[in-house]
Structure 1
């Protein structure tokens, strides 16, 4: 009898685990069927001009993704900041750009978005070139953690949303990191659609990463922020910003890199303007 009970319990656990993804998708479908709130639409008009350049089908898709995102993610105000619906919608609209036309996992590891009023200070211990530990204080506009948090400066979030063609967007940057971190760590090689794509991805991104490093060392101007020369993970996040905000220049000067990012994100921002 005990063996029968153990077997039955094990079977129930297996059935529950198998049904959980289905239940999640059913819940998300129900959320996506709900009307898009008028208040959110007004916030999009006021704060996210990028929304207006999207084709109608992608506008609808973005709104549906936002509904799920806002239903599932927790927002926390830091340093006395009270999180408003304006903040939630503005962040969600930019983050969900990265989910268009993809099998949306809604940043599956992400649980919380922490928002500071402005740039925030982080104290870290880092090793210098001689192996000596040093305390370093950094002023940041955003950060993405593998533990399931994204931290954002609200001032920088607003600036990134307001100017859609400067190649600088802290939300796109940090949520690109979240995609990269889905495998547990960020190294500039997020999950791709097929194993065969990794070789080409590595060739193209490594070539352009090394080129940016050389430009940063020499002071030569670049379409990309020198911050992208820090490591491959930052390069992926920086080029993601430019891909969405300055696609014409990227496609003209970095066609292979643009092609790789277009295949990854499954959109072509060149066709939006």
Structure 2
């Protein structure tokens, strides 16, 4: 899409029905400043014009589904000079968790295949898959830092430099090196806490790989920023520099003890 067309999309009036969806269905929207809300809405218009949505498992794609996904995806783009997930073309939505095939190679070289239940996936072939039921759990009391949309779109950002390794694209080499040093230290500390059976601020699934660590850290950064900043200050500051946001400073009345 050309820059001029994107500019026209960003400047066109935002549908009132979409605004109501943001106010009623996207808890994080209430935390944003008026300026950030306007920027987010502009990004949403471009995102929805460029990405295709497909229902699977019997679900019908509505504006509510499209806008809720777009809002959270575009939250990761605020204040940043970046593209609109250039590697992504389509988003598939299931009504609930779905079965997906997998293959695992063990240390002996034996391949095990089967299926498992998933709430979301980010594919290298331009597709992202989400469970609508799991999307509804974001921001709900008792769910901590869980947000499957932020998680999967963090994987998309991670892959923009050609490899999904927990280090997204940085235009400057120095910033990339600083990120890698910080994430390596914080990741090793996190894995040790998980191995010791401690209850971490981050989802233990993040111990699977640096890529998953970045994804669950992104969830916590927006959904549980106060605790993340308290327990992983260096990680929080690195994420704040990358996303150019400071969710821990958002209005506490919107959050759940510093979370959303």
Runs of 4+ deviating beyond 3 Å: 161-165
**1:209 positional shift:** 1.0
- The count of corresponding residues between Structure 1 and Structure 2 is 251
Is residue 130 of structure 1 aligned with residue 108 of structure 2?
A: yes
Mark the runs of 5 or more structure 1 residues left unpaired by the alignment.
1-22
Indicate if the aligned counterparts of 1:126 and 1:136 stay in contact, CA closer than 8 A.
Answer: no
**Residue 245 of structure 1 is aligned with which of 206, 223, 248?**
223
Q: How does 1:58-207 map to 2 (within 5 A)?
A: 58-160=36-138, 162=140, 166-207=144-185
Distance in 2 of aligned mates of 1:243 and 1:131:
37
The SS at the match of 2:8 is helix
Indicate if the aligned counterparts of 2:44 and 2:70 stay in contact, CA closer than 8 A.
Answer: yes
Of structures 1 and 2, the larger Rg is shown by 1
Bigger share in helix: 1
Distance in 2 of aligned mates of 1:90 and 1:46:
10
Distance in 2 of aligned mates of 1:194 and 1:184:
16
The SS at the match of 2:245 is coil
After TM superposition, the score normalised by the length of structure 1 is 0.88
Deviations 1:92-115 (Å, cap 9, x if unpaired)?
Answer: 111111000011301111100000
**1:144 positional shift:** 0.3
Indicate if the aligned counterparts of 2:139 and 2:146 stay in contact, CA closer than 8 A.
Answer: no
Distance in 2 of aligned mates of 1:184 and 1:89:
28
Superposed CA RMSD: 1.5
The SS at the match of 1:82 is coil
* Aligned twin of 1:215: 193
After TM superposition, the score normalised by the length of structure 2 is 0.93
**Residue 254 of structure 1 is aligned with which of 202, 224, 232?**
232
* Aligned twin of 2:256: none
